[in-house]
Structure formats: C-alpha cells, structure tokens
Structure 1
Amino acid sequence: MSADINLILENLKFGKSQRTQDSLNKLNTLLETRFNAKEKDYSIATIGKVSKADGGIGAVSIRNKTGEHFRLLIDAWATKANTKMKKPPVPHSRKNEIPTDTEVLLRLNDPVMRAVIGQIIAERNKLKAENRILKHNTEVIVDMRPNQNIGAEQAHQGVQVLSTLDSLLLPSDIEALKDAIDENKMAQFGWTVSKYGAVKDEYERPLFKTGFVLAIKKILDQL
C-alpha cells in the first residue's frame, strides 16, 4: 500500500513547480504521520489547520481550484485509513448517546409494551405541537392606565365605589375575552365547553374550571 501512495505522490508531482513538489512532500509526511497515529480526521479544515501550523499549505490552498493535487493526496491517505475527507462525528455527542423514538420502539420485544410506549411518544409529540401553537398565539398587552386610588373619606366609610366595566376595560381587553371563548378557535384545538362552562381538551381533561366560559359571557353581557 505504501508503494501505491508513493506512486500517487510521484504522479501528482510530475510537471509541477519545485515549490509545489515541496508542498506535496511536506503534506505527504504530515498525512503519513497521522495515518501511523491512527487518526481518522482527514477533513480539509483539519489537515489545512495542522499543515499551516507546521509551516505547510493551509485549507484555502487545498480548497482552491489549483489545489486539486493536494486534495487527491489527502483522499488517498483517507482511503488507506478506511475513512473519508469528512470530519468524523463526535463519539460522545448527545445525538449519538440518545436513541430516536423509532430506535426505542425497535428495542422493545414485547408488542404490548411497544404499543404502550408508542402511544406515550405520540401523546408527547402532540402536546409539544399544541404548546408551540399556544406560544405562537400568545399576546402580551401592557396596561398603561393609571392606578385608581380610593379617597380618604371613602376608605373611612368602608365602601369602595367601582367604575363601570366600560371604563375599566380597554377595547383590546374586550377582544381578548371574546377570543378566549371563541367556539371556532376552541374547535381547532379539539377543545369542548361543558354545560356548566368548563373547557376540556379532546381527551376530556379539564383545561379551565367550571364556570370559566359562563363568567366571561356575564362580563361581556354587561358591556
């Protein structure tokens, strides 16, 4: 195999300038050293960085159109090392340590357990999707209205006179209340409203307590 590399090197040096031949020789020595050290990273970025640090050519010279002979030499050594001119994956990366959902299911021999875990995974994915939708539809409203103070005389009497709802609620507040109980929007999420005003999801799990929808309707009726 060494003869093959040497033959490739001589062919690549044929007809080149002395400067290019010297660069090829230096690069070949570096690649041979990496091969003997059982290195697996023969990517252009890595080889160029190591080569430049050692006074040789850099990654730019290797990637250039005129650097094809350098790439061919790197590829020859990468092939000899049973790898490619790509950076190998990090052996302890999170991606390699955690199996995918499909891999988890394939590891389960019990069909019943596989069905149960599959249902759990499907439910988790659905909840994640719903959470993304809710976050996307979140609206933040900054209330710039001044705080209402109760007069001294009013406080002594123990009676607090409240303003009408029209003066307390902004138009955006009213729209938010209407949107919160919009039946069409709830239907998009698979939600339902019970007889007593509770909101439940498609699995009949309570999202808002009994009276939620009725309370909002009462407020809107006063406007």
Structure 2
Amino acid sequence: MSTDMKLFLDNLKKDRSTCTQASLDKLNTLLEKRFNAGEEDYSIVTIGKLSASSGGVGIDSFRNKAGNHYKLLLKEWATLADTTTKKPPKRYSRKNEVSSDMELLKRLDDPAMRAVFGQIIAEKKKLKAENHILKQQTEVIVDMRPNQVFSAGQVQQQVEIIPSLTGVLVNSEIEALRDAIDENNLRNRGWIVSRLGSIKDENGRSLFKSGFVSAIQKILAEI
C-alpha cells in the first residue's frame, strides 16, 4: 500500500470507534487485494457483497450516511484503479458476437443460398412485425371460416329433427300449463296478457316476461 493511501486510511480512522477502525482495515485489505489483482469492478454492489461474505461491512453500510467513510475509502481505491464505483460495462456481449442477418447474407457466395436465406430473413421480419401487433392488441379475433368457397348448389341443406314432446309431460303438468295461460283464470286474478305475450297484474307490473304465454302455447301444440 502506498504512503498516500496509508495516510488517507489513517485520516478516515481518526476519532472512529475501535469497531469502525477494524472494519476500515478489513475493507482496505479487500480493496488492496483487488487492486493488486488488476480487478476493474469497484462498484458498491460487488464490493459490498464481497465484504459481507468475508465478515466485513455490507452494501447498506456504503449507502447509509453514517457509513460515508467506507464509501470514501472505496472511491479512493477506485480512483487509484482508474475507474469509478459504478458497475463497469461487460467487455463481451452476446448481441455483439452474433452477426446481423444482412452480414450473414453477404458471406454466402452461392446465389441460390443467398436467395433462400433472403426469403427466410424476410419471413422472420414479417413474423416479428405480426407478433408485435398481436402484443399491442387487447382482443384477438381468430377467423375460423374455411378458405374454400362453395357455390349454392354445392351446399346441402341440413334439417334438424326436434324430438316430440309426447310422453315427456304427465297429464297434471299439461293441465298446469293450460291453467297458467287460461284467460278466465287470468281475468279472475286481475291479470292481463300483453300483445307480446307477457302477463301483467292489475297495476300494470310485469309478472312474466314477454313470450311467456306464446312459449307455453307452442309447447301445448306439440303435445
């Protein structure tokens, strides 16, 4: 350790508690080893983790106002190593290692291969654009209609046969349905049947929705 760094450390330790002085010495030893090893990462996160793992101060100690002396020591070593306390950028990036599509295309000598590869690149760009559009949409409607167009003569009409209601209802149930829409019974109760088949009371309030009477009439007609 240089004389200047030793003097800087002594000034930081001045008037500090025994525990703080010991922590500064421990941190200084760690930073000196990294400096001698040629390390470039002197970020608070990295040094804080390394220090804590060896029983020294952690990341919070560097960030707290009360631990400013630890941060000053870290900055001094970072300056000596010609760097900062920020995380250094990665030297190698996978993105930089992979050549672009056009660069790969230029490397192909065979015209036929270039044509095929060019189509693949175009298709990839198209799919990426469609994927981007789909991500922006909150609702996706998938058209499941067949691509083949049929003429009117080719389409065969399908007839759906509805099973008979005969035997489904017993006599008492049939009578109950007839009684429900019997005009005399409705009149005795003060109820009326509207034009749309709903039943209303004497005050005009709807008791059964529109289509109630006509629905029962259709059922009775099938029995």
Length-normalised TM-score, structure 2: 0.48
Higher helix share goes to which structure? 1
